[in-house]
A = this chain, B = another copy of it.
Amino acid sequence: MNKTLACLVVAAIAMPAWADEGMWTFNSFPADKVKSKYGWSPTQEWLDHVRLSSVRIAGGCSASIVSPDGLVMTNHHCAHSCIAQLSTPKKDIVKAGFYAKDGKDEVKCPEIELNQLVEITDVTKAVQDATKGVEEAKFNDLQRAKIAELEKACATSDDLRCDVVTLYRGGKFDLYKYRRFQDVRLVFAPEFEIAFFGGDPDNFMFPRYDLDVSFLRIYGADGKPAKQEHYLKWSANGAKDGDLTFVSGNPGGTSRLLTVGQLEATRDVALPLSLTRLGEMRGMLTEYGNRGVEQRRHSEGMLFGVENSLKALKGRHGALADRKFYASKVAAEAAFKAKINADANMKKTYAGVWDAIQATTDKSRDYRKAYAALEGGVRSDLFGTARTLIRAADEMPKPNGDRLKEFADSRIPQLKQKLFSKAPIYDEFEVALLTFSLTKIREDLGADHPVVKQVFGQRSPEEIAKDAVKNTKLKDLKVRTDLFADGKGKDKIDASKDPMILLAKAFDAPARAERKKWEDEIDGPLRKQGEQLANAYFGVFGKSTYPDATFTLRLSYGTVKGYLDSGVEVKPLTTLGGAFDRATGRAPFALPKSWLDAKSKLALDTPFNMATTNDIIGGNSGSPVVNKEGEVVGLVFDGNIQSLGGEFGFDESVNRTVSVHSSALIESLDKVYGARRIVEELRPTGGTKAGGK
């Protein structure tokens, strides 16, 4: 890691992006830049088509529409929670895989929402005017109210979702209007063994051999597959070394525009806290799974998420701990400041912004632990449900603009989907999670913190958790519906003696207070300061570069390309045969029986996984890789280990997007799974031409 990062060139701030760098918004794609480098660039029509063929999984992934009948392609790990929720002790489809041989066999995912980006409107002036000249402490409230107003006006029905997106950390605000789909059904998933072949050891590694795919389908209000005007066609042969590739998806977040002081706090405070806690959760969850087969089934989804975060955060921390990389960020900031200081007007307006950000950042170091513990410290579905019910009763009677943002009118459909989900709840696991969470809250706040004393009293974390989980009625959908009462449940909540409600209530006032403190004293000021810094940035560099990622639709370009890893050449394409070579028969390197059985039928030289220079980050999982014709040539599921530093800067020499090659998808659907229905739907004209090269 050190060696590769040492060569990282941080381009985001100090120089124009000539590398295949950038997670570009669809309304400011640098067609000229692509044209000059590759001799080809997408038309507006191409951009619109790819945008409308892309869908976001609201819970945190990307996907694409791949047939006129609403077939959606994403990763297995993006649908993992649905697949697990649809499993039972007798039929574990995470383990066994799933294939709906017929349309009527497709099963609804309890908590998946898809968003198709239909319109982008610039609302910068409206948002910035609402906070013009106001003091920092009021900034957050006023901005949130304006955003809620804009979103409500836009989301005229429940099947529309509107989000105001903060770009350049406050320099630009765009209103994203999405079509919202909540009836999404599972069509196909392979066995977990091949979807996550190599497990945590191979995660973020390349070469790689994963069939990390699942297919879903969008259904309409009529209960039938929803016809789609825009969808991606399938490439006949997929991509080969050197081909131009585009990735359309939703990178979750990057920190390329942070100040050095913010990076320092990330390196020294936020990341060490997260790493230590994630490490502990990983140890706990791994060993919890040893309680038994069912307990492993209940907990493994969370374990994989925790392990994935842990590895990603280690990579990020490693980038900031790298002396040369960090020095390059320091140098870039110094150069930026020098340009500001060289212009008297800009100096007067902007020179103070770094100190202001530093002061806010210093304060955030002190506030972080209590805020995280009280507002985000409990990992338990039932506790989350109780908190949502309590807050809904308080918030929903308020005017839209005054509510906590997750209770704004435009957010209610998503909230209801989760609140009224039929996904199973596992008591034993809930007790374990709640016990763990309460123990950590006591640890983070200290045993003498007034909230701890008040909530815990004489009881131990385990006693509290057992009582609340065992005796709550919130597992009953009817009880939840009754307590929610369409946002008018205040009296019922006040009267409730449900122990989970009482527990969540005991935390609620102090949690709200910490959140308010954070929003008023950290978040608001940083938004105000971010606006200033962005303007300084535009003043020096213009608007020719991309904003940090915001879990909204972006397009990146690149090529299929290998790289040097510590001097060793890594080729950009692996083959199906490579998976058989790598298999040991033991988890996480065991191939499923279906693959072992099908080996003789498979074209083993079919490209399996693929590395490209596209600039992506977590959230892009499930994104389609498309060629110049807008056809699917791959399915993004990972980045290589060198891509983890991409949080802070892009290094084209080694940063790689990792995808499943389109040919491997067809070859395995056809020969391993006999999933003819899907193959025909993906390539209706040509039948199978697997193994194309």
Residues of A within 8 A of B (CB): 2-3, 198, 200-202, 205, 264, 267-269, 271-272, 275-288, 290-291, 310, 314, 317, 320-321, 323, 362, 365-366, 432, 442-443, 446-447, 456-460, 463, 584-587, 589
With the chains together, A456 CA to B276 CA distance in Å? 28
Q: Specify the main secondary structure of chain A where it touches its partner.
A: helix
Contact of A280 among B267, B271, B283, B317 (CB under 8 A): B283
Q: Is the CB of A276 within 8 A of B198?
A: no
A321 contacts across to B, CB distance below 8 A:
268-269, 272
Besides A291-B291, A459-B586, 10 more A-B contacts (Cβ < 8 Å) are: A2-B366, A201-B442, A264-B323, A268-B321, A279-B279, A282-B283, A447-B589, A456-B584, A457-B584, A458-B584
Residues of B within 8 A of A205 (CB): 446-447
Most buried by B among A200, A286, A320: A286
CB<8 Å pairs between A and B, sample of 16:
A2-B365, A198-B447, A267-B268, A269-B321, A276-B278, A276-B314, A279-B283, A280-B282, A280-B283, A283-B284, A283-B285, A284-B286, A287-B432, A290-B291, A458-B585, A459-B584
Report the minimum CB–CB distance from A211 to chain B (whole Å).
18
Nearest-neighbour CB distance to chain B for A47, whole angstroms, equals 40
A608 to chain B, nearest CB (A): 17
Query: Which of the residues B264, B287, B320, B443 comes within 8 Å of A283, measured between beta carbons?
Result: B287
In the complex, what residues of B have CB within 8 A of residue A287's CB? 283-284, 287-288, 432
* Complex-state Cα separation, A3 to B362, whole angstroms: 11
B275 to A278, Cβ gap below 8 A? Answer: no
Quick check: B310 and A276 within 8 Å, CB to CB? yes
Q: When chains A and B are docked, how far (Å) is the Cα of A3 from the Cα of B366?
A: 9
A458 in contact with B586 given A275-B272, A275-B276 (CB within 8 Å): yes
A366 neighbours in B (Cβ, 8 Å): 2-3
B285 touches A279 (CB 8 A): no
* Residue from A287, A456, A585 with most neighbouring chain B CB atoms (10 Å): A287
- Asked if B362 and A323 make an inter-chain contact with CB atoms under 8 angstroms apart, the answer reads yes
- Using CB atoms, name the residue of chain B closest to A289: B287
Q: Quote the shortest CB–CB distance from A476 to chain B (angstroms).
A: 28
A317 cross-chain contacts in B, Cβ below 8 A: 272
CB <8 Å contact, B446 and A201: yes
Of A283, A285, A310, most buried by chain B (CB within 10 Å of CB) is A283
In Å, the complex CA distance between A456 and B584 comes to: 10
Report chain B residues within 8 Å CB of A291: 290-291
The 4 closest A-B pairs by CB, nearest first: A283-B283, A279-B279, A283-B284, A268-B321
User: What's the Cα separation between A447 and B198 when bound, in Å?
Assistant: 9
Q: Given the complex of chains A and B, what is the CA–CA distance between A679 and B205 in angstroms?
A: 64
Inside 8 A of A457's CB, which chain B residues have their CB?
Answer: 584
In whole angstroms, how far apart are the Cα atoms of A288 and B264 in the complex?
36
**A290 contacts across to B, CB distance below 8 A:** 291
Of all chain B residues, which has the CB nearest A207?
B448
Q: Check B362–A463 contact: CB distance below 8 A.
A: no
Cross-chain contact B2 with A201 (CB below 8 angstroms): no
Q: Which residue of B lies closest to A324 (CB)?
A: B362
Considering only CB atoms, which chain B residue lies closest to A198 in the complex? B447
| Cα-based distance from A287 to B587 in the complex (angstroms) | 22
Partner of A447, one of B201, B267, B320, B456: B201
Contact A447 B276, CB 8 Å, known A286-B284, A287-B283: no
Q: Are A460 and B284 in contact (CB under 8 A)?
A: no
How far apart sit A459 and B321, CA to CA, in the bound complex (Å)?
35
**In the complex, which residues of chain B have a beta carbon less than 8 angstroms from the beta carbon of A264?**
323
* Cβ of A371 to closest chain B Cβ, rounded Å: 15
Q: Which residues of B contact A459 (CB under 8 A)?
A: 584, 586
Shortest beta-carbon distance, A671 to chain B, in Å?
26
Q: Chain B residues near A272 (CB, 8 Å)?
A: 271-272, 275, 317, 321
Most chain B CB neighbours (cut-off 10 Å) among A201, A264, A310: A201
Q: Are A460 and B198 in contact, CB atoms less than 8 angstroms apart?
A: no
- Closest CB in chain B relative to A288 CB, distance in Å: 5
Query: In the assembled complex, how far is the CB of residue A221 from the closest CB belonging to chain B, in whole angstroms?
Result: 45
Could you tell me the distance between the alpha carbons of A19 and B286 in the complex, rounded to whole angstroms? 48
Q: Looking across the interface, which residue of chain B has its beta carbon closest to that of A264?
A: B323
Residues of B contacting A285 in the complex (Cβ-Cβ under 8 angstroms): 283
